[in-house]
Amino acid sequence: MTERSGCGQCRSGEPLPFAFTMAFHPIVDIERNEVWGYEALVRGTEGQGAGYILGQVNDDNRYRFDQACRTKAIELAGGLFPAGDVRLSINFLPNAVYEPAACIRATLEAARRIGFSHRRIMFEFTENERMTDVAHVQRIVADYRQRGFLTALDDFGAGYAGLGLLARFQPDLIKLDMELIRGIADSPARRAIVSGVIGIARTLGVAVIAEGIETEGELSALREAGITLFQGYLFARPAVAALPELSPAGMQQAA
């Protein structure tokens, strides 16, 4: 896929061959006992999961899909939590951004049209995403941060290049992969690894979010390690085109 063909995809106005919507999943700040932000997760309009939609993304529609996801997330967020400082987290495909300044225009325009401050938007990219050009992704992250967006490295600890990517990208946040923290309450090794990551992040000025929290034991162990931002089923499950109701049990445990 060339830059010119990517640009042509976005300008053609041709609709995607499939419909989708977004579900929202809260990120909780336990120090303040409030929602820090919501991650927008792609879903089918008839209840299909993310895999069903992502399975239809290919080289012919990748650019249009990435742009459409950003716009859809902002439009829905503008109706669900238009005011305040609650963030909107959007996953993006690094390989679908051919030129940062050009590909961000639709996002900025959508935010302006909806009246949703772009400074409340966080872009997540994952170390599991196949990066054909790491230097190019580095330019994307640098451009987004310069424009006032937050950036986050998702699934941290799931692959082999996490520390290297952290050193190169210097995102605002990292999201610890759920496989790294699963069973952490009973694993001294996992607690030691997470503690080390937190220390590195703190030195770099990078905040840490623990995702995939399902048990009170996981929450307790990670709180003791110094993490304050959490995401997972213990607090709520994603809700399609709506804000999920927070679990009273999860919030009481966090309090």
Which tokens is 196 given?
């080390």
For 170-228, the pLDDT digits (tens) are: 899 999 999 889 999 999 999 999 999 999 999 999 999 999 999 999 999 999 999 99
Q: How far apart are CA 98 and CA 94, in angstroms?
A: 8
CATH 3.10.105.10 fits 3-241, yes or no: no
Task: Report residue 19's pLDDT band, with 50, 70 and 90 as the boundaries.
Answer: very high
Q: What is the residue type of 141? A: V
pTM: 0.90
For 115-147, the pLDDT digits (tens) are: 999 999 999 987 555 566 778 888 888 889 999
Q: Who wins on pLDDT, 251 or 227?
A: 227
Q: Please list, in sequence order, all residues whose beta carbon lies within 8 angstroms of the beta carbon of residue 51, skipping any fewer than 6 positions away.
A: none
Mark 66-105 as b/e (b = at least 16 C-beta within 10 Å).
bbbbbbbbbbbbbebbeeeebbbbbbbbbbbbbebeebbe
Q: How do the domains of the chain map onto residue ranges? A: 3-241
Q: What is the residue type of 121? A: I
For residue 47, what is the enclosing H or E element?
Answer: none
Q: What is the residue type of 182? A: R
